[in-house]
Amino acid sequence: MLEARQLCGTDLAAALRESRQRTLSLVEDLSPAQWSPPCQRGVNPVAWELAHIAWFAEFWILRGPHHCDAQGLVHAAQPPRFAGPDALLDSARLAHAQRWTATLPTRAELVPMLTHQLEACIAALPAQAARFAEAAQDPLYFHRLALFHEDMHAEAFCWMRAALQYPAPAGVSMPRLPPGQPLNVPDADTRIGWPSARHGFAFDNECPAMEVRLDGFEIDSAPVSAGAFARFVEAGGYDKAPYWPQNAGAWRAQSPHAHPQQWRHAPGGGWLVRWFDQWRALDEQAPVMHINAFEAQAYCLWAGRRLPSASEWEHAARTYSGFHWGHSVWEWTSSPFAPYPGFAPGPYHAYSQPWFGDHRELRGGAFATHHRMHHPCYRNFFQPHRTDVFAGFRTVGL
C-alpha cells in the first residue's frame, strides 16, 4: 500500500474525491444562521473558505505556469475558470477581516463551482502518473499539494464548529489516552526532515533533511491528560508568576480565568470541559486540549519538566513503538517555527516562509486531522497564544 504522500493515479483521484466529500460533510448540516455567523478572529466565513479551497486547487493544477513577483505574490499564466478572482480568494492577497465584508458566492453557487473544479483537476492528472510518480520533477506535486491543503481546511472547519459552539461533526468523539509511562531515549545522531533521496510529496519546511545530535532524554509516552492538568490548575498554577515568564506573563495578565479557557467549575465540585456545543464532566484519561504554548510551558515549570524540542519529538516518534502520538491532539514543542539550514521555498511561497519567527512548532496530529496528515516529519505551526486549535503537549525530564 502506498504511503499517502506517494498516492498516484486512481488512488490519488479517489483521495481527492474523498477529501471533498469530507469537506462538504462538515458544513452541509449548518443552518443559514450557522453558515453566516458574526465575524470572529481565527474563523473564516464558510463561503470564503469553500471557494478558497476550489480556487487553490484550480490555481495550482490548472492555471500554470506560475511566477513570483517582487512582493512575493504568485501569479498564474491562465485566468480562473471556476473560482476567482485571485484578489478575493487568495489568502495572501485578502486579509482575514476583509473576507467578512467581501461579496462571496452564495451557497447555491458554491455547489457547481466545487464540482466542476474537482472534476477538471482530476481530469488533469497525468495519464502516465504511476510511471512518473518517482520522477525528480514530480508531475503530481500540485495534485498532492491540493489534497493536503483541502485536508487542512477540513480540520479548520472542525475548529470553526468548536469555536462557534456548533454540534460536533458526525462520527467524532473525544479521544482518550493510553496509560502513560516515561521512555528513556539514549544519545543519538539522527536525521530530521524529509531526505532528498526519498520519493513522494514533502512540504517545503521539511526540506532539506538535517543531521542532529541529541543528548539522551526521558520523554512521556503519551500527551498530558486532562486529569494531570487539572492537578496543576487546582494547585493554583495559573496564579503563580514564576510559571509565567516574559510573553507568557503578558498573556496570563490579560486572561480572565485561572484555568483553561474552555473549562469551568462544575456545580458541586470538579470541572466541566466544553466539547463543541456541550459541557461535559472532565474525563481524566482524555488529553488536555485547547491549551496554548504558554499554558503548556507553565505546567512543565510546575511539574519540574520541560517541553520537547521538535527534533526530540520527531526522533522519538520515528524510533519508539511505545511513543503514542497522533489522532488525539497536536503537541506543542519548545521549538520556534524556523527554516532548516538550506531551506528554499516551494512553489507555494506563502505556505511556510511568512510564518518563520513568531510561530511555535507543533507535532503529531489531532482527532480531527485526516490520517493522511499524520506523519513524523510534518511540522504544524501556530502563534503560541492560540487556544482554538486541538492542541495539547507532552513533557520531557530535566
Each residue of 204-261: pLDDT tens digit? 999 999 999 999 999 999 999 999 999 999 999 999 999 999 999 999 999 999 999 9
Sequence-distant (6+) residues with CB within 8 A of 80 are 55, 58, 59, 63, 86
* CATH number where 111 lies: 1.20.120
The model's confidence at residue 121, banded by pLDDT at 50, 70 and 90, is very high
Angstrom distance (rounded) from CA 228 to CA 271: 13
Which pairing describes strands 330-336 and 391-392: parallel, antiparallel, or unpaired?
parallel
111 lies in some domain = yes
Choose the final residue of a domain: 163, 196, 226: 163
Same domain, 73 and 218: no
Same domain, 145 and 211: no
Asked if residue 394 has pLDDT above 50, the reply is yes
Angstrom distance (rounded) from CA 207 to CA 195: 7
What would the pLDDT profile of 144-163 be if each residue is shown by its tens digit? Answer: 999 999 999 999 999 999 99
- The residue type found at 347 is P
Question: So what's the pLDDT on residue 134?
Answer: 37
Same domain, 202 and 99: no
280 lies in some domain = no
Angstrom distance (rounded) from CA 244 to CA 239: 9
Same domain, 13 and 154: yes
Asked if residue 322 has pLDDT above 80, the reply is yes
The count of C-alpha atoms lying within 13 angstroms of the C-alpha of 348, restricted to the half-sphere facing its C-beta, is: 22
275 lies in some domain = no
267 lies in some domain = no
Question: So what's the pLDDT on residue 132?
Answer: 41
What would the pLDDT profile of 3-31 be if each residue is shown by its tens digit? Answer: 889 999 999 999 999 999 999 999 999 99
* CATH number where 214 lies: 3.90.1580.10
Same domain, 122 and 53: yes
The model's confidence at residue 354, banded by pLDDT at 50, 70 and 90, is very high
Q: Across the chain, what does the average pLDDT equal?
A: 94
What would the pLDDT profile of 254-299 be if each residue is shown by its tens digit? Answer: 999 999 999 999 999 999 999 999 999 999 999 999 999 999 999 9
Same domain, 75 and 142: yes
90 lies in some domain = yes
Q: pTM (2 decimals)?
A: 0.95
Asked if residue 2 has pLDDT above 70, the reply is no
Structural domains counted in the chain? 2
272 lies in some domain = no
**Average pLDDT in the 301-330 region?**
97
Same domain, 158 and 220: no
Domain span at 241: 182-258+287-397
The model's confidence at residue 383, banded by pLDDT at 50, 70 and 90, is very high
Which of these, 300, 319, 315, lies nearest to 363 by C-alpha position?
315
Which of these, 287, 276, 279, 13, lies nearest to 140 by C-alpha position?
13
**Average pLDDT in the 295-313 region?**
98
The model's confidence at residue 137, banded by pLDDT at 50, 70 and 90, is low
Choose the final residue of a domain: 163, 192, 225: 163
Question: So what's the pLDDT on residue 197?
Answer: 81
330 lies in some domain = yes
Which of these, 349, 331, 327, 325, lies nearest to 339 by C-alpha position?
349
**Residues 310, 333 contacting (CB under 8 angstroms):** yes
Q: Which residue has the cell 541529541?
A: 214
Same domain, 220 and 368: yes
Question: So what's the pLDDT on residue 196?
Answer: 84
269 lies in some domain = no
Choose the final residue of a domain: 163, 191, 226: 163
Identify which has the larger pLDDT, 134 or 173: 173
In the chain, the percentage of residues whose pLDDT exceeds 70 is 97
Asked if residue 82 has pLDDT above 90, the reply is yes
What would the pLDDT profile of 170-190 be if each residue is shown by its tens digit? Answer: 999 999 999 989 999 999 999
The model's confidence at residue 41, banded by pLDDT at 50, 70 and 90, is confident
Same domain, 105 and 17: yes
Angstrom distance (rounded) from CA 136 to CA 102: 41
Question: So what's the pLDDT on residue 8?
Answer: 92
Same domain, 112 and 202: no
Same domain, 112 and 188: no
**Residues 360, 332 contacting (CB under 8 angstroms):** yes
Same domain, 200 and 320: yes
